[in-house]
Amino acid sequence: MEELGNLMGGFSVALTGPNLLYMLIGIVLGVLIGVLPGLGGANGVAILLPLTFSMNPTSAIIMLSCIYWGALFGGAITSILFNIPGEPWSVATTFDGFPMAQQGKAAQALTAAFTSSFVGALFAVVVITFLAPLLAKFALKFGPAEFFAVQLLTFCSFVGMSKEPPAKTIAAMMLGFALAAVGLDAVTGTLRMTFGVTDLMRGFDFLIAVIGLFGIGEILLTMEEGLAFKGKSAKISPRVVFQTWGLLFKHWKTFLRSTAIGCWMGITPGGATPASFMSYGMARRISKNPQNFGKGELEGVVAPETAAHAAGTAALLPMLTLGIPGSPTAAVLLGGLLIWGLQPGPMLFIEQKDFVWGLIASMYLGNIVGLIVVLSTVPWWAAILRIPFAVIAPVIIVICAIGAYTVHSSMFDVALMMVFGVMGYLFKKLKYPLAPLVLALVLGDMAESSFRQAMLLSQGSLSIFWANPLVGSIFSLALLMLVWPLFGAVKSRLAARAVQPKEA
């Protein structure tokens, strides 16, 4: 098959000495980022992105994607040993992982979590390998109307599928659109909302915003909560690893189900966090012993970790083929590709074949390297959490400031980072989602350009969005996702009214 031949070519790119070194560095940095509360996959990639500007794009994206894989692995360590989710998607892992650690089964829980993460990611990479070229060829038929319909579907899916109140999701997204509109108009060349500040002519750089919103905002919130590390120690031996692998074979149905959930939630903009909770809930509902969940059930670790890794990996599929990120981290990687002069989309598979297949090959290798690293170095990462958070927090803030400054070598960007940090803190305190804001900030310009080009082609008629079955179906699905919460609200009210007469 053509895909297998391209994949072999990708391995020849990924298996070069420098790329293997960057892969290992990325995994180690990613695990460290995943272990430290206050950071995370999106934050780590955003903070370290400026360090890759002098590298060639292939090596840079391999290192950054491996940071992401490492962060996915690392989040399970704090969840199981300390009951502190290092990542949002690791919350569901604490439900059974920490009770297992308290029962003296920390090594078993960690082995199950790492193995599940590896399996979920491996299946997702296989999906990317065989589905991405087909989706890219299909996307070659897209024009401005089709691209805007897909972008609208992405935005509306956040409204329809998010667990957050739709009003909060829309408010965050509108703020992201407003921030994306600041600066030079790409179509007319006029300045918009700069208010005489020359530094705003280039607009709000998504990297500055992400570092502030995620990194600084999370640190401020964590400092307010007075985080202290208390937990269990663990050491994984080969005997425990093989024993646990023997037990995991019994849960092959959970692996398949969680992988399917994760891949779907990654390709659509659901994300790893909803995927982990959905998979955990499904496993508990189907289990023959649901009463054991929350008390140290092995399946309660397998389900969320498999789904989270599958979703985190599958999120790169729409980013590479359509230029539509499926997660905040994918949005940061999308920004990196644009900075390096690469335009994600169907033409990427034709014009930059070595780059794309080198990245896909590195996904296979990165997950194998990540599994080996975390299984052999758990005690080291657990020891890091003995360092007082009062020491770790200032170090993270300094790293964020350096990352923001290196984007344009401007102190104005550092000040903007702090402003976005306060905004991120307020968003988290008020329970507003940050992902829709980041998505709108990254895709706002692209969506606006696609919409205006479509309007120019149709001379201002919205009928272009129903001009053919492809764009019509995507646009209609987007509108359905937008109003989907209304159906849920109506259903809840009807159910409440039906209960009231019975109670009376």
Q: What is the pLDDT of residues 70-86, one digit of tens each?
A: 877 777 777 777 666 65
Q: Average the pLDDT over 233-243 and give the result.
A: 69
User: CA 265 from chain center: how many Å?
Assistant: 11
Facing residues of 183 across strands? 192
Model confidence at 397: pLDDT above 60 = yes
* Average pLDDT of every residue of the chain: 77
Q: Which residue has the higher pLDDT, 340 or 163?
A: 340
pLDDT band at 287 (very low <50, low <70, confident <90, very high): confident
Average pLDDT of the segment spanning 114-129: 85
Q: Which of 9-13, 324-328, 408-412 has the lowest mean pLDDT?
A: 324-328
Tokens encoding 503 = 């109670």
Read off the pLDDT of each residue in 129-142 and give the average, rounded to a whole number: 73
Would you place residue 231 in the very low, low, confident or very high pLDDT band (cuts 50, 70, 90)? Answer: very low
- Give the residue extent of every domain in the chain: 1-489
Give the Cα separation of 41 and 328 in Å (integer).
Answer: 9
* Residue 269 clears pLDDT 60, i.e. is over it: no
Give the pLDDT score at 406: 67
Q: Is the pLDDT of residue 473 over 60?
A: yes
Q: How far apart are CA 318 and CA 345, in angstroms?
A: 8
pLDDT given for residue 234 in this prediction: 56
pLDDT given for residue 381 in this prediction: 63
Neighbours of 260 (CB within 10 A): 16
| Reported pTM | 0.64
One-character DSSP codes across 179-241: HHTSEE-TTT--EES-TT-GGGTT---HHHHHIIIIIIHHHHHHHHHT-----------HHHH
pLDDT digits (tens, 9 = 90+) for 168-191: 888 888 898 888 888 877 667 778
322-337 average pLDDT score: 71
- Residue 440 CA: distances (Å) to CA of 45, 174, 318, 444: 19, 8, 16, 5
Predicted pLDDT at 403: 67
Torsion region of 462: left, alpha or beta (phi above 0 gives left; psi -120 to 50 gives alpha):
alpha
* Structure-token pair, residue 347: 């033409």
Average pLDDT over residues 432-447: 77
Specify which of 94-108, 195-209, 416-430 reaches the highest per-range mean pLDDT. Answer: 416-430
pLDDT over threshold 80, residue 102: no
Say whether pLDDT at 301 is over 60.
yes
Going by C-alpha positions, the residue among 75, 102, 74 that lies closest to residue 88 is 75
Q: Which residues pair with 39 in a beta bridge?
A: 37
Average pLDDT for 323-343: 72
Give CA torsion, residues 443, 445, 448, 451, to 10 deg: -70
The answer, yes or no, to whether residue 3 has pLDDT greater than 70, is no
State percent of the chain over pLDDT 90.
0
Task: Give the residue with greater pLDDT, 233 vs 88.
Answer: 88
Average pLDDT for residues 109-131, to the nearest whole number?
A: 85
The arithmetic mean of pLDDT across residues 270-288, rounded, is 74
First CA to last CA across the chain, in angstroms?
A: 67
Which among 223-232, 270-279, 468-477 has the top mean pLDDT?
468-477
Tell me the C-alpha to C-alpha distance, in Å, between residue 14 and each of 17, 20, 320, 372, 373: 8, 7, 18, 18, 18
Instruction: List the alpha helices (DSSP H) in 83-163.
Output: 91-102, 106-139, 144-161
Q: Is the pLDDT of residue 38 over 60?
A: no
